[in-house]
Amino acid sequence: MLKRLGKVFGPLVCALLLLVGLYLVFPVSQPHHLGKEKNSAVALTKAGFKSRVQKVRAFSDPKANFVPFFGSSEWLRFDAMHPSVLAEAYNRPYIPYLLGQKGAASLTQYYGIQQIKGQIKNKKAIYVISPQWFVRKGANKGAFQNYFSNDQTIRFLQNQTGTTYDRYAARRLLKLYPEASMSDLIEKVADGQKLSNKDKQRLKFNDWVFEKTDAIFSYLPLGKTYNQAIMPHVGKLPKAFSYNHLSRIASQDAKVATRSNQFGIDDRFYQTRIKKHLKKLKGSQRHFNYTKSPEFNDLQLVLNEFSKQNTDVLFVIPPVNKKWTDYTGLDQKMYQKSVEKIKHQLQSQGFNHIADLSRDGGKPYFMQDTIHLGWNGWLELDKHINPFLTEENSKPNYHINNKFLKKSWAKYTGRPSDYK
């Protein structure tokens, strides 16, 4: 009987012991390796977005200046004028670390920031705010869950001190991901309760487990490497930097890439995502509204975090493709009201570095598709990013106003400066 049990459970016990041994001896911290860090910076995968080990390794590398580029799916639009390509081609003293995924918005970025708070302290960052995030229901539940991780939960619970912002963040997490790991602890924070010593010990153990897991899986390949995603585009660029020359190249590339449609949209995107739905999309955005949304409150979470870490941030507000919005009926006046509200929330709290491109959607070859920058749009953005990251700026002087965390602000549609 014992022999039978040994044959059945012996291999399982051995496997378990090997796994425990692996976790005990596997190092959490990894040596810096510029090539691997560059791969992580452009991988743009869910696993990469969730991995704290990879982000911390890059942002703490003393021999490289990785800068977080927060946003959503715009960073996936690689062409010869993409920020990562220009930085590589012209030996810029910074390397964009792209933190964006389809459907990601401010709440996703807030929880991602929990993993790198120490690495962005007194540093610079780029943050894209797309007015399209500011829909009536706010952040997409599926997208949020897709990019959320147990490590983010642990970091948030360890970092929180029971503030109004912490309680709001916990409530938003429970609303968008009620089945999240350690939801009982998140509920305590949402209710304004302190975590017990037993809770903290549980967090400490979970932290050890998930940190080890992250470190082990960080050795697996993520997606396209830096050489695959960036270097082929670098080879297309002239050695001498000139905006005029680059704009001519961008326009030539875009002209070839947009032959199949009248909207100036990349042919691949148009053929696969739009063509078969074109007729029913006419006038489909007439009633869209980006002026009332819980996203305004989620954005405030991020701003408060940047203020606490004294992070100097350039905010980017992109346009939409004007030819496309003329077809779908998106109200440009409404769009600009949303932009005005976003800018007021930023500027009134001392976030004064803003690249407002929201009126440029009608310029030739500015947009790669319906809502994402490309070609000349990337070049225009570079005129803001490069000086911001390479020149000395005055130190941030933020003054956070908690009124922007109120539901009344999220729903407010009057003149932003009149809101009390």
Tell me the pLDDT tens digit for each residue of 142-198: 999 999 999 999 999 999 999 999 999 999 999 999 999 999 999 999 999 999 999
Which is higher by pLDDT, 223 or 352? 352
Q: 186 is in which domain, residue-wise?
A: 31-418
Query: Is residue 325 in some structural domain?
Result: yes
Query: Is residue 1 in some structural domain?
Result: no
Question: How big is the CA angle at 98 (ends 239 and 171), to the nearest 5 degrees?
Answer: 160
Q: Which of helix, strand or coil describes residue 316?
A: strand
Per-residue pLDDT band for 286 (boundaries 50, 70, 90) equals very high
For position 347, what pLDDT does the model report? Answer: 98
Does position 5 have pLDDT exceeding 90, yes or no?
Answer: no
Query: Is residue 333 in some structural domain?
Result: yes
Question: How big is the CA angle at 244 (ends 242 and 245), to the nearest 5 degrees?
Answer: 65
63 by Cβ neighbours in 10 Å (0-12 / 13-18 / 19+) ranks as exposed
For position 221, what pLDDT does the model report? Answer: 60
Once rounded to an integer, what is the mean pLDDT over residues 108-133? 97
For position 314, what pLDDT does the model report? Answer: 98
For position 186, what pLDDT does the model report? Answer: 98
For the chain, the average pLDDT equals 92
Query: Is residue 133 in some structural domain?
Result: yes
Q: How far is CA 2 from the centre of its chain?
A: 55
Does position 49 have pLDDT exceeding 80, yes or no?
Answer: yes
Q: Which of helix, strand or coil describes residue 235?
A: coil
Query: Is residue 160 in some structural domain?
Result: yes
- The CB density around residue 179, as the number of other CB atoms within 10 Å, is 7
Once rounded to an integer, what is the mean pLDDT over residues 282-298? 97
Query: Is residue 143 in some structural domain?
Result: yes
Structurally, the chain folds into a number of domains equal to 1
Measuring CA to CA, which residue among 384, 410, 373 is closest to residue 313? 384
For position 193, what pLDDT does the model report? Answer: 97
For position 16, what pLDDT does the model report? Answer: 43
What DSSP designation does 396 have?
P
Query: Is residue 387 in some structural domain?
Result: yes
Is residue 74 a contact partner of residue 128, using CB atoms and an 8 Å limit?
A: yes
Query: Is residue 365 in some structural domain?
Result: yes
